[in-house]
Amino acid sequence: MNPPANEPTPRGAGLAGRLLVAQTLVLLTGGLTAWLIAANVGPSLFHEHLARANVGSTPTQIAHTEMAYQSANAISLSLALLVALVAALGISVYQTRRIGRSVATIANAASNVASGHYDIRVPGPGLGPEFDALASAFNQMADRLGSVERTRRRLLADLGHEMRTPVATLEAYLEALEDGVVTLDPGTAELLRAQTGRLARLSEDIGTVSRTEEGQVRLDVRTVHPQPVITAAVGSVSEAYQTKGVRLVTDITAGLPELSLDPERIGQVLGNLLDNALRHTPAGGTVTISATASAGTGGAELSVADTGDGIPAEHLQHVFERFYRVDTARDRAHGGSGIGLAIAKALVEAQGGQLTVTSPGTGAGSTFQILLPRR
């Protein structure tokens, strides 16, 4: 019969108790073994040495001498074993309590983490490198879980905010259409189509970045030269750059090696970076896309540099996180979903590359660099 759900399941002795019992048995076994060996081996050796030394002239004197040895040996051995047993038990109790407290601390901390308290930390118990490594690994796990939880909450909050505007717009216009306040003219249809397209892109972007980070994205990897990929990406955004009045410069050095990559996915990455640069570069600014051979890896380095808003140093490490924005109000006004850079980083890493960003600071522009190794 199972115990009721609200009652704790009975458990056996704790780790500290079992360690103490095990060490006590070891000590008792060692003491008993020492006593038996001393009792059986000592007298015969003593008698043999008496005979060799010609100690005692009569059997009575020899017997008395042997009895004296046995008595002295028994008393001294008993006292020595007793003192050793007490000292060893004391040390065992101290050590097992320390181990028990350390394990209990980690167990309690794990329960707190399971309850959602990710700020809990375990101090190093000082019981050796193994326990210190365990405590350090636990703290790293708790810190990582806390970071994931914070990202999850921010993601849900930002996702709700991203969806709220197009959904509210659609709802308002549908009600207006039902009430006859507005008519379904080409302008209204275009606005509704733009809002549904925004929701569709948001859904597609979330699915893309999730599949890529989980290693489930399909890659059509083949050996290609980077120049046609860059040219195609530039061609896809040229009209938007001309419309805004931002100069787009292409700088591709000669001698680029052929690379094993998915040209469509790298084109998607470059497109995201160019779109991001356009959103954050004012009219009259310049965006430069360049490509050079990488001497260290035998691959290529692609970069997208702009003369736009720039990124403060404290935000650089977060720009590739989902929905992260350096300036929330400004970025939403620019129309970005906050997922493009996360998708770009995940796609580059899925092909064995690296995507990094540098910026001198606010108003000084930024540079996104893609390192593609030669595989």
- Distance, in Å, from the CA atom of 312 to the CA atom of 280, rounded to the nearest integer, reads 14
pLDDT at 303 over 90: yes
Q: Do 169 and 245 reside in the same domain of the chain?
A: no
pLDDT at 85 over 70: yes
What pLDDT sits at residue 18? 65
What pLDDT sits at residue 9? 42
Cβ of 289: how many Cβ atoms within 10 Å? Answer: 24
| 245 domain residue, yes or no | yes
What pLDDT sits at residue 242? 92
Q: Do 237 and 163 reside in the same domain of the chain?
A: no
Burial of 363 (C-beta count, 10 Å sphere; 0-12/13-18/19+)? exposed
- Residues contacting 280, CB < 8 A, separation 6+: 306, 308, 309, 334, 366
Burial of 48 (C-beta count, 10 Å sphere; 0-12/13-18/19+)? exposed
Q: Do 273 and 177 reside in the same domain of the chain?
A: no
Q: What is the CATH number of the domain that holds 298?
A: 3.30.565.10
Q: Do 180 and 90 reside in the same domain of the chain?
A: no
Q: Do 291 and 309 reside in the same domain of the chain?
A: yes
Q: What is the CATH number of the domain that holds 201?
A: 1.10.287.130
What pLDDT sits at residue 72? 66
Residue 287 confidence class, pLDDT cut points 50, 70, 90: very high
- Identity of the highest mean pLDDT range in 23-37, 127-141, 156-170, 294-308: 294-308
Mean pLDDT computed over 262-271:
88
Q: For 184-236, write each residue's pLDDT tens digit.
A: 888 888 888 877 877 777 777 677 666 666 666 677 888 889 899 999 999 88
- Distance, in Å, from the CA atom of 203 to the CA atom of 208, rounded to the nearest integer, reads 9
Residue 46 confidence class, pLDDT cut points 50, 70, 90: low
Q: For 95-113, write each residue's pLDDT tens digit.
A: 777 777 777 777 787 887 7
- For 191, the domain range is 150-213
Provide DSSP, 11-70.
----HHHHHHHHHHHHHHHHHHHHHHHHHHHHHHHHHHHHHHHT--SSHHHHHHHHHHHH
From the list 249, 251, 260, the residue with the least C-alpha distance to 225 is 260
Q: Do 227 and 345 reside in the same domain of the chain?
A: yes
Q: For 2-35, write each residue's pLDDT tens digit.
A: 444 444 444 445 555 666 677 677 767 776 777 6
Measured CA to CA in angstroms, residue 47 lies from 52, 76, 344, 351 at distances of 9, 19, 90, 84
